[in-house]
Amino acid sequence: MTVTISNNSFTTTLQDLIKYPSSGILSKVLLKDNNSQYSLFCLAKNTEIEEHTSTRNAVITVIEGKGNLELEEKDIALAPGVFVFMPANAPHALQARENLAFTLALSEHLPVKKKVSQKTIDIVKSTAPVIKQHGQTITSRMYEIMFASHPEVKSQFDMSAQANGTQPAKLATAVYAYAIHIDDLGALKEAVNKIAHRHVATHVLPEQYPIVGECLLQAIKDVLGDAATDDVMTAWTEAYQALAEIFINREQEIYQTI
């Protein structure tokens, strides 16, 4: 269920909306406007969300269940009534020890603090030929890792396109295009817009970008082996985070028009 409301009152009974999946995460956007977004997250027992960051301030309010939140190297016990504020870009990870339900409130997007460094641009562009050569192997490996570690996201993908290689091929083309145009993102505007609309249609959320990034970076390491030096991985980490922010901001704009 997605509710889009701007400048209108809104009420619901959260307990009536709670529904736990057999495994993984079930999320529902309750309300979004020009400044914020409010979602309900239902996590099956033992579900883990690995460490990631968000470009937006966030607030967790626990409704039921128990779990643990690691926030900036602090261990916080989650139980009904617990309220947690997480500043933008703060590293955090979560584990549900029981079925766990909480609301997540996201603030408006913060302005981009800095552009990708010139060193990152130079390194990423230098890897473009090898990304072109091994791109589909990398993206196929990425999906393999992601579906194994985060099976809850499978429902957002066309698995037939996975089986016939169409989706990995499209993503490989997009990653290569980013590598060669990282210093000229205007050339990617049309592609970004098309992909962003597809993400909105499949209800992609900002919290899912760290999952994709983690799996993509691991796939690059797995496929490139010794060529994936520390400098290369650091550059691609920064490059991915910058690209994720572009998509998150564009998708937020699209969500607000639905």
What is the rounded CA–CA span in Å between residue 252 and residue 246? 10
Query: How many CB atoms lie under 10 A from the CB of residue 125?
Result: 16
Q: What is the pTM of this model?
A: 0.60
pLDDT greater than 90 at residue 86: yes
- Residue in this structure with the two tokens 């967790």, named with its chain if needed: 60
Which band of pLDDT confidence, cut at 50, 70 and 90, is reported for residue 254? confident
Instruction: Provide Rg for the chain, Cα atoms.
Output: 19
Q: Please name the amino acid found at residue 220.
A: I
Reported as half-sphere exposure (CB side, CA atoms, 13 A), residue 28 has a value of 17
User: Would you name the residues annotated as active-site residues?
Assistant: 209, 251
Q: What architecture is the 14-106 domain classified under in CATH?
A: Sandwich (2.60)
User: What is the DSSP-derived secondary structure letter of residue 116?
Assistant: P
CA angle 97, 45, 23 (to 5 degrees): 150
* 8 Å CB contact between 238 and 117: yes
Every domain of the chain and the residues it spans: 14-106, 118-255
Q: What is the mean pLDDT of the chain?
A: 89
What is the rounded CA–CA span in Å between residue 231 and residue 183? 18
Which residues make beta-bridge pairs with 103? 40, 61
What is the rounded CA–CA span in Å between residue 14 and residue 66? 17
**CA-to-CA dists, residue 240 to 168, 178, 212, angstroms:** 17, 10, 10
User: pLDDT tens across 118-157, in order?
Assistant: 999 999 999 999 999 999 999 999 999 999 998 888 888 8
User: pLDDT tens across 62-75, in order?
Assistant: 999 999 999 988 99
**CA-to-CA dists, residue 197 to 139, 158, 258, angstroms:** 21, 16, 11
What is the rounded CA–CA span in Å between residue 7 and residue 176? 42
From the options 3.20.20.60, 3.30.70.20, 1.20.1290.10, 1.10.490.10, give the CATH code of 118-255: 1.10.490.10
Q: Can you say how many angstroms the Cα of residue 110 is from the centroid of all Cα atoms in its chain?
A: 16
Handedness of CA 201, 175, 189, 39 (dihedral sign): positive
* 8 Å CB contact between 51 and 92: yes
User: pLDDT tens across 214-226, in order?
Assistant: 999 999 999 999 9
